[in-house]
Amino acid sequence: DVKVTQSSRYLVKRTGEKVFLECVQDMDHENMFWYRQDPGLGLRLIYFSYDVKMKEKGDIPEGYSVSREKKERFSLILESASTNQTSMYLCASSWREYGYTFGSGTRLTVV
């Protein structure tokens, strides 16, 4: 059974902190994605990666960066957390077909 694991289900961080959200997949997938989900806005793509050390900006990359040093791990970094980054963050992976496998999500609150 394929799995995408996000390291934390809930996080509370202070404004200005550097925040790391970790995602690991065990399916040897090439492509990995970070989305955020907000009420009324659906899922919006922050960054994605189609190979190790490769990254591409999504639709809302401002305030975020990513790291993919190994194929199975894709990290989302909030360089200086702000309250408007309070959201549900979802990691996903896929290989060549169209379906994504999502993790359970990390609900981040920035206070």
Partner 1 sequence: DQQVKQNSPSLSVQEGRISILNCDYTNSMFDYFLWYKKYPAEGPTFLISISSIKDKNEDGRFTVFLNKSAKHLSLHIVPSQPGDSAVYFCAASVKIQGAQKLVFGQGTRLTINP
Which stretches of the chain bind partner 1, using CB under 8 A? Answer: 4, 9, 30-31, 33, 35, 40-45, 48, 50, 56, 58, 90, 92, 94, 96-105, 107
The DSSP result for 46-100, as a single string, is EEEESSTT--EE-S--TTEEEEEEETTEEEEEESS--GGG-EEEEEEEE-SSS--
Tell the smallest beta-carbon distance from residue 47 to partner 1 (Å): 11
Kindly tell me which of 2 and 17 has the beta carbon lying closer to partner 1: 2
Other residues' Cβ atoms within 10 Å of the Cβ of residue 69: 9
Tell the smallest beta-carbon distance from residue 5 to partner 1 (Å): 10
Kindly tell me which of 14 and 59 has the beta carbon lying closer to partner 1: 59
